[in-house]
Amino acid sequence: MTRTVRVEGRGFAGYDVVIGDGLIAHAGRRVAELGFHSVFVVADATVDALHGNRLRAGLTAADVRHAGIRVPPGEASKSFDGLRTVLSALADAGVDRKGAVIALGGGVTGDLAGLAAALWMRGVALIQLPTTLLAQVDSSVGGKTAIDLPQGKNLVGAFHQPRLVLADMDALATLPPRQLRSGWAEALKHGLICDPAYFDSLTGPDAAGAGGDRAALARVVARSVEIKADVVGQDEKEAGARALLNLGHTFGHAVEAELGFDDAVMTHGEAVALGCCLAFRFSAAEGLCDDAEARRVDAAFAAAGLPTRLPEGLSAGALLRRMAGDKKAEAGRLTLILARGVGRAFVAKDVDPEPVARLLRTEGAA
């Protein structure tokens, strides 16, 4: 049983996000149906060991020629060194403009492979096979690709929409619980942006998905993709409404950068969870929403086993400098995604940094 969500927009060719079981094994057939007879697979090394043989067998059965490269798991692969390695491998494999790049892995692999596809020969086709919940509900859809710099996350990138996304529920069965929780953070974020009923469902019956329930996870992936598809269809390149999808990210990215992008310390999903909590606490402190709403958000993330408080040892000044360098900042002035309540997020520009610093110090930053 599969479900398909269509992503359409004025500035790009539409594509399907297919959600179901066994999709990695049958990806070859779908790739061939799109007209690709040669692909290059960029795979997370850990994921490749789990699922790579099924993908390659399906490609072979569909008469799709394939080569590929394994990349180390973790945020460190999203670097110039990682990008150079993938581009060199594409050159060695002789991938031409009629070929396609397949990203097999989580958000790191999707971002890295996507940017390589955007750059190689000025752009070749990209097919996303996301294997983490976070990538399935969020990063594989919408065409954002990027690598990190020491100064900040996702600062070097391009918009490059995929031709197809296959979200295989079987892959989620091999995820560690921490990675499921990280993806759950992004799903909760989608509810916080524009769908309070969805947010409530993630703390109700469908909260079973956070523990790995297959049917609940499929419903969550489908609804999150619907939300993201609607926003991306309106605003592909983040000129307006798409910025809302960054709820929690300005705070979260700053924390990630200060922690050295170390997944062992804090995953991206955990940083988003913390960032959403901080965004709602700041909104409440500024009188934009009730304190009860901020507490409600804290409780939802805490119940999912996600962090809601700043780690020890961080500096408010350092975090603010990171936030000022965020992609949404303008002339060094902060742009934050804030909220008037659950499901009522909005873009706040030219935010005064002093109240933000005050909140960070209240939260334990030095």
- Asked which of 31-40, 110-119, 209-218 is least confident by mean pLDDT, the reply is 209-218
Which of 93, 179, 198 has the alpha carbon at shortest distance from 136? 179
Tell me the C-alpha distance between 221 and 9, whole Å: 20
Number of CB atoms found within 10 A of residue 336's CB: 26
How many other C-beta atoms lie within 10 A of the C-beta of residue 352? 11
CA 184, CA 88: separation in Å to the nearest integer? 35
Q: What average pLDDT score do residues 117-131 get? A: 98
Read off the pLDDT of each residue in 181-191 and give the average, rounded to a whole number: 96
What average pLDDT does the chain have? 94
> Could you give the percent of the chain with pLDDT greater than 70?
98
Q: Which helix (H) or strand (E) holds 14?
A: strand 12-20
Give the Cα separation of 281 and 324 in Å (integer).
19
For the whole model, what pTM was predicted? 0.94
Residues sharing a CB contact under 8 Å with residue 360, sequence separation 6 or more, in sequence order: 278, 310, 314, 316, 319, 320
Q: Which residues of 77-103 are buried (b: 16+ CB within 10 A; e: fewer)?
A: bbbeebbebbeebbeebebeeebbbbb
Judge contact between 77 and 112, C-beta under 8 A.
yes
Encoded tokens for 283? 């909104």
CATH number of the domain located at residue range(s) 3-172 in this protein? 3.40.50.1970
Summarised one tens digit per residue, pLDDT across range 228-270 is: 999 999 989 887 888 999 999 999 999 999 999 998 999 999 9
Tell me which residues are annotated as active site.
122, 144, 186, 228, 238, 242, 246, 249, 253, 268
Q: Which two tokens stand for residue 91?
A: 């050159």
Nearest to 178 by CA among 143, 128, 134: 134
The region that residue 277 occupies, defined by phi over 0 for left and psi between -120 and 50 for alpha, beta otherwise, is: alpha
Per-position DSSP letters for 198-248, written without gaps between them: HHHHHTTGGGGGGGT-HHHHHHHHHHHHHHHHHHHHH-TTSSSGGGGGGTT
> Tell me: the pLDDT tens digits for 62-104?
999 999 999 999 999 999 999 999 999 999 999 999 999 999 9
- Collapse the DSSP code of 155 into the 3-class scheme (helix H, G, I; strand E, B; otherwise coil) and give the result: strand
Give the residues across from 330 on adjacent strands.
Answer: 333
Domain regions of the chain by residue span: 3-172, 177-362
Question: Which residue type, as a one-letter code, is found at position 23?
Answer: L
177-362, what's its fold? Dehydroquinate synthase-like, alpha domain (1.20.1090)
Residue 97's identity, in one-letter code, is R
Side chain identity at residue 279, one-letter code: A
What distance in Å separates the CA atoms of residue 322 and residue 252, rounded to the nearest whole number?
Answer: 10
